[in-house]
């Protein structure tokens, strides 16, 4: 071991099951890395960023060998835990109403749409059905007078950006969702809703003839050299170039210290609804609602995907866990909030129990920029997706592959036009302040929570 070694201090752990992965039929397993192997490119992490990087490299370097190492099963990490909204419009969870500065927002829209187009290309190539990749747009809805104010300010912002939208009234929302909980909604057409675990699994399957994928193969140490050596539990991988697509765990590799925020958010999923419950609920089989207040509750109703049954998913609550692990108490608080949010929205489904509860990490930076770029010679980071990882993860994976192969494109220049992540305030002020602020905002969200 020498002082250029990168020792990985912590391996990923998210509370509860990755339910979107859990409700699908068992996935074919990729092998664990054993013995010694040598490739041109190594990618660490099999989420949106890692898979996008692998696919883009396969396109850019047809004759070169690529391997991807994932610490767990694919889609067991945050990639299989999210709510599946691929959003084209600016969506900063830390903002009060999703509205930012105009030029910045127009740039974000261009970048987000390029990533969604890339995902669409994957979906088309692999023949994904609408139960996996549904270009249905997104609805943001309010349940209170305060939420209506957020909708109005969002509407004005979309107007100033020249983006199309449609306002929905309470009756339209009720016919769509079955619940009369929502007062007003604003629909925008450019978003896609995915079954996140199915999307990742199929994407992996699509590239597996070009990329060697290893599951249950955490990287524990990287020995730097003319060829870097990635050490896992039972094998070693030598590669000239490495892309780290490990989300907030970039910090566990020793990079971006005191620059990334480790925020966890939580969700619950009902058991399968019976035919009678589906009929009692009414509405259409698949829909999703983002809260008008960014700290409110996201809801998805999904119909059957590969035998997984009709279900409702509720997401809310965030906690800042700078030691990279959520607490049992975070999960318990989220469960209480989610049961309450479910009961207020779906009184007609009283008695429907939650079958899965889980949490997962987001990696944010104070100034909402990615933790991106060459961090050591021939080692690149494609991390920190600021809460919109289905899109920004895809983008940063694509961009890492492009920069590492010295491509030049208007998209890459646009993507690189950002400041470095700002330094965080020191502990304990950061965690205390961050968690108290989030609690206060949750309380302020009122009925929209
Ligand atoms: C409840 C919830 C709801 C969300 N909803 C949305 C949403 O609707 N839309 C949206 O865009 N985003 C959403 N997100 C965020 C989104 O899931 C993440 O931003 C996204 O998964 C990040 O993608 P990524 O590829 O950068 O990282 P990840 O998906 O976290 O992938 C990184 C991978 O690296 C692996 N890894 C880490 N360390 C190692 C190591 N040492 N060796 C090998 N592998 C390693 C991990 O196991 C993991 O699989 C949500 C998240 C949660 C938890």
Q: How far apart are CA 86 and CA 91, in angstroms?
A: 10
Give the residue numbers spanning the domain of 313: 135-190+261-366+430-448
Tell me: do 252 and 383 sit in the same domain: yes
Closest CA to ligand 1's atom 32: 246
Ligand 1 pocket member 356 (CB < 6 A) = no
Tell me: do 355 and 296 sit in the same domain: yes
Tell me: do 267 and 330 sit in the same domain: yes
Q: Are 188 and 138 in contact (CB under 8 A)?
A: yes
pLDDT in tens, 411-441: 999 999 999 999 999 999 999 999 999 999 9
Tell me: do 17 and 75 sit in the same domain: yes
Which atom of ligand 1 is the closest one to the Cα of 232?
Answer: 42
Q: Are 199 and 124 in contact (CB under 8 A)?
A: no
pLDDT in tens, 209-239: 999 999 999 999 999 999 999 999 999 999 9
CATH number, domain of 313, equals 3.30.9.10
Which atom of ligand 1 is the closest one to the Cα of 52?
Answer: 25
Q: How far apart are CA 153 and CA 272, in angstroms?
A: 37
pLDDT of 1 reads 58
Chain centre distance of CA 97: 20
In a domain, 110, yes or no: no
pLDDT of 4 reads 82
What mean pLDDT is predicted for residues 57-62?
97
Tell me: do 139 and 221 sit in the same domain: no
CATH number, domain of 401, equals 3.50.50.60
Tell me: do 355 and 267 sit in the same domain: yes
Q: How far is CA 305 from CA 133, 151, 301, 432, in A?
A: 11, 31, 12, 41
Secondary structure of the chain: what % helix, strand, coil (to 5)?
35, 25, 40
Best substitution site from 21, 82, 334, 397 to test ligand 1's pocket, by max atoms within 8 Å of Cβ? 82
Q: How far apart are CA 345 and CA 350, in angstroms?
A: 10
pLDDT, mean over the chain:
95
Tell me: do 296 and 152 sit in the same domain: yes
pLDDT in tens, 82-107: 999 999 998 765 555 566 688 889 99
Tell me: do 305 and 414 sit in the same domain: no
pLDDT in tens, 300-323: 999 988 899 999 999 999 999 999
Q: How far apart are CA 155 and CA 274, in angstroms?
A: 37
Ligand 1 pocket member 77 (CB < 6 A) = yes
At 439, phi and psi to the nearest 5? -60, -45
Query: What is the pairing mode between strands 379-383 and 371-376?
Result: antiparallel
Percent residues over pLDDT 90 in the chain:
93
Closest CA to ligand 1's atom 9: 85
Which atom of ligand 1 is the closest one to the Cα of 48?
Answer: 25
Cα dihedral: 13, 17, 18, 22 (round 10): 140
- Name the domain count of the chain: 2
60 Rama sector, left if φ>0, alpha if ψ -120 to 50, beta otherwise: alpha
């Amino acid at each position: 071991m020498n002082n250029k070694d990168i020792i990985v201090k912590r391996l990923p752990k998210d509370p509860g099951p990755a339910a979107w992965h859990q409700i699908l039929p068992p996935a074919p397993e990729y092998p664990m890395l054993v013995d010694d192997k040598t490739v041109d490119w190594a990618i660490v992490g099999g989420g949106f960023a890692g898979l996008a990087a692998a696919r883009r490299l396969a396109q850019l370097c047809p004759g070169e060998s690529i391997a991807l190492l994932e610490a767990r099963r694919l889609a067991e990490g945050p990639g299989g835990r999210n709510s599946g909204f691929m959003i084209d419009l600016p969506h900063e969870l830390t903002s009060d109403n999703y509205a930012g500065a105009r030029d910045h927002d127009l740039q974000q829209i261009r970048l987000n749409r390029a990533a969604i187009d890339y995902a669409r290309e994957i979906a088309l190539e692999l023949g994904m059905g609408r139960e996996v990749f549904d270009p249905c747009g997104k609805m943001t809805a309010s349940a209170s007078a305060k939420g209506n104010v957020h909708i109005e300010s969002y509407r004005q912002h979309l107007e100033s950006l020249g983006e199309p939208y449609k306002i929905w009234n309470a009756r339209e929302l009720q016919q769509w969702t079955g619940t009369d909980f929502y007062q007003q909604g604003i629909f925008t057409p450019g978003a896609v809703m995915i079954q996140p675990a199915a999307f990742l699994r199929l994407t992996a399957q699509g590239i597996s003839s070009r990329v060697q994928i290893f599951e249950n193969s955490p990287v524990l140490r990287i020995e730097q050299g003319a060829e870097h050596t990635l050490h896992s539990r039972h094998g070693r991988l030598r590669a000239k170039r490495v892309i780290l697509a490990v989300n907030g765990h970039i910090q566990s590799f020793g990079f971006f210290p005191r620059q990334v925020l480790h925020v966890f958010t939580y969700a619950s999923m009902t058991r399968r609804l019976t035919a009678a419950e589906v009929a009692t609920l009414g509405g259409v089989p698949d829909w999703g609602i983002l809260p008008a207040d960014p700290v409110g509750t996201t809801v998805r109703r999904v119909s059957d995907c590969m035998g997984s049954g009709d279900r409702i998913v509720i997401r809310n609550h965030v906690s800042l866990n700078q030691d990279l692990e959520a607490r049992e108490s975070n999960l318990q608080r989220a469960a209480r909030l989610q049961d309450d949010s479910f009961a207020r929205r779906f009184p007609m489904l009283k008695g429907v129990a939650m079958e899965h509860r889980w949490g997962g990490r987001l990696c944010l930076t104070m100034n909402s920029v990615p933790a991106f770029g060459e961090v050591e010679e021939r080692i690149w980071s494609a991390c920190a997706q600021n809460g919109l990882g289905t899109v920004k993860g895809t983008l940063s994976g694509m961009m890492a592959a492009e920069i590492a192969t010295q491509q030049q494109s208007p998209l890459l220049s646009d993507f690189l036009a950002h400041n470095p992540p700002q330094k965080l305030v020191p502990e304990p002020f950061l965690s205390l302040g961050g968690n108290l602020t989030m609690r206060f905002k949750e309380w302020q969200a009122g009925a929209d929570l």
